[in-house]
Amino acid sequence: MVSAEEQVRKFQEFIEDNYKVKLLEASSTGKSFFTVEFSDLSKFDPSLAEELLNKPEDTIRAMEIACRQIDLPGEASKIRVRLINLPEARKVSIRHIRSEHLGKLLYIDGLVRQKSDVRPQAVSSKFECPGCGQVLSVLQLEQSFREPSKCSCGRKGNFLLLQKELVDVQSMVLEEVPETLTGGEQPKRINIFLKEDLVSPITEKRTNPGSKVKVVGVLKEVPIVLKTGGKSTRVDFLIEANNIEGVEEAFFDIQISREDEKAIIELSQDPKLYEKMINSIAPSIYGYEKVKEALLLQLMGGVMKTRKDEVATRGDIHILLVGDPGAGKSQILKRISRISPKGRYISGKGVSGAGITAAVVRDEFLGGWSLEAGALVLANNGICAIDEMDKMGEGDREALHESMEQQTLSISKANIHATLLTRTTVLAAANPNLGRFDPYGVLAEQIDLPPTLINRFDLIFPIKDIPNPAKDERIAKHILFLHQSPEGMEADLPTEVLKKYVAYARQRINPVLTDGALNEIKEFYVKMRGLGSSEEHAFSGREERAIKAIPISARQLEALVRMSEASARVRLADRVVKKDARRAIELLTFCLLEVGFDRETGRIDIDRISTGIPASKRDKIYAIKEIISELEGTIGKTIPIDDVLKAAVEKGIGESDVEEIIEKLKREGDLFEPRYGFVSRM
């Protein structure tokens, strides 16, 4: 057993030999800590390293005392030692922490689920004895504040508090990483206690909810207080952190080496770059080239812009896949959530509004309330894949509106008023409302989602499963080959290469629109808007009062800009050219023709998607309202339905349409039926 003095002397020698420069640097720059590699200490003295693992608190204290004995500029008394790279044998998963680990130095990794506010805590206090004037120091190591029991003069109690030393503390809840779980296991959690330089905002980026972190710390016990006021025989676990390291998560955190950069730039010169990347998005899924192209652009993303008036325009491209069962939507979603470093996959009925946004929970450790991040917040700067979106509750879906467009999440609950960032790209999948698409029905009417939510998606792809002998044979051949030799299907680019390429593009490339690309987008937008204004209206006598079809809106214009920028990023180009704009226009036109085409007028009508009612139908509703208004002036308040039918047929509106519109107006409260066969306005 090495004495404390011997330990301090050895540590002083170790620091002077290995870390003097680092320590001087930390002290002169005003840093309150410096990091020590465990392997360096192990090489210097294996017995000291062993002591550090088994009696960490005393050993770290000895190391810090050794630092103070070295002649340093600045305040060396506050220098803390932070340890990195512990041996693999000391890595413990949260679910395997046991009583044998108490008081030992461990390292664990996990996902930050919630984080409390920073609060001061007393670590030591000084009292004066009123009898003899002696100053007594008390270390505050317990949860309850301690006073001296007695003075050397014999006095007991009623000591005068002179001062107390406070340090900043914060608690954090760490949860097991989903990838490490098997079967139906629920991720386990543990409280982490942060002190001094480890609290926010110093470690803000590393310890924000949703971040993956590696924690080095000492396992301690926390007494459980019973309702009676006594202590329970059971105790809770807590890790007092010595160091926290962020594990790379978002695309912006991925480290790109010089070799990687060279390989990425070389790949960007490949004439078949787009084909290779599209084929690598989901190689096990046959076909869907347009969908895969859109997913590639989604991974790349557009450029987020903040204007002088502080209004931000999102750069994330949201995509919705609506399709028949068994068409491979879920596989596509799973694959994309794996390619994206901060990907989250959630599904339908298993999602609540709080689970997808954020929940306010009681902080058991420091008291009060704290925020627990949901899927969209956890996937900030990543992709959130939402499967079975049509199965989500209506109230839960409403939580998505602000997050998708404003990219923030406002919480006002339990005295917490917070705005969280959700710069998250959403990739969602849903089934048609009848389970399968009706090939003869209007496609937009079969998407069972609120129009306000649908309108926030830049691209909507219908995925139809229609029998086709030639295509079916190719799909069967592809699927059976995958079953016969699962390893046989190779992507043009390995996942790791694709991930690094996307990360490089997002980190370094912020393309700017050229005049050529800008004019291309403007001409397309104006031309498409012109299609709506030039339409002839059959059901309204006066042109200015006619309801015009709106082929595309300003939201689609912004979507075109985002997709053009993403296309330029694929080539690692810093300028968006005509070619990129045409690629974006082609994708948008493909989607609009699939879901926004109004068969009745033969034109594209964005209202089919954004409001659920095409312009042609709204025109008919307007005409019926006008007929009822005219008849009210001649007949009176109670109008026979037959008269409405007769007047509508004269204007070219079919009987079935009139009956449907009257029913709709009755449901919405515009009309009511005072007696059978008659209607009146409300």
Provide the Cα torsion 632, 634, 640, 641; round to 10°. -70
pLDDT given for residue 531 in this prediction: 62
Range with the poorest average pLDDT among 4-8, 26-30, 132-136, 570-574:
26-30
pLDDT at 226 over 60: yes
pLDDT at 596 over 70: no
The CB-side HSE value for 489 (13 A sphere, CA atoms) comes to 18
Percentage with pLDDT > 90 across the chain: 0
Burial class (CB in 10 A: 0-12, 13-18, 19+), 9: middle
Domain boundaries, the chain: 4-85, 90-247, 252-513, 615-681
Q: DSSP label at 150?
A: B
Instruction: Say if residues 167 and 123 touch (Cβ distance below 8 Å).
Output: yes
Per DSSP bridges, beta strands 575-576 and 189-195 are: unpaired
pLDDT at 616 over 80: no
Instruction: Say if residues 161 and 127 touch (Cβ distance below 8 Å).
Output: yes
* Gyration radius from the chain CA atoms: 33
> 90-247 — its CATH code?
2.40.50.140
> 615-681 — its CATH code?
1.10.10.10
Measured CA angle at 274 (ends 273, 277), to 5 deg = 85
Range with the poorest average pLDDT among 109-118, 500-509, 590-599, 633-642:
590-599
pLDDT given for residue 50 in this prediction: 86
- The span from the CA of 8 to the CA of 15, in Å, is 10
Both tokens of residue 211? 């971040």
Residue 278's pLDDT band (cuts 50, 70, 90)? confident
pLDDT given for residue 543 in this prediction: 40
Q: Note the Cα 116 to chain centre separation in Å.
A: 20
Region 547-572: mean pLDDT is 77
Closest CA relative to residue 611, chosen from 461, 462, 449: 449
pLDDT in tens, 155-193: 887 888 888 878 888 888 888 877 666 656 778 888 888
Cα torsion angle, 350, 354, 359, 364, sign? negative
Region 619-646: mean pLDDT is 77
Amino acid at position 657, single letter: D
Mention the CATH class of domain 4-85: alpha beta
- The span from the CA of 83 to the CA of 216, in Å, is 7
Percentage with pLDDT > 70 across the chain: 81
Cα torsion angle, 591, 317, 424, 256, sign? positive
301: three-class secondary structure by DSSP:
coil
pLDDT in tens, 5-42: 788 888 888 887 787 777 777 777 767 777 888 888 88
Beta carbons within 8 Å of 341's beta carbon, 6+ residues apart: 248, 249, 250, 251, 253, 254, 382, 499, 503
**pTM of structure:** 0.70
pLDDT given for residue 541 in this prediction: 40
Closest CA relative to residue 27, chosen from 67, 62, 83, 86: 67
Which of residues 307 and 600 earns the better pLDDT score?
307
pLDDT at 409 over 60: yes
Residue 540's pLDDT band (cuts 50, 70, 90)? very low
Chosen CATH of 252-513 out of 3.40.50.300, 3.40.50.1000, 3.40.1190.20, 3.10.450.50: 3.40.50.300
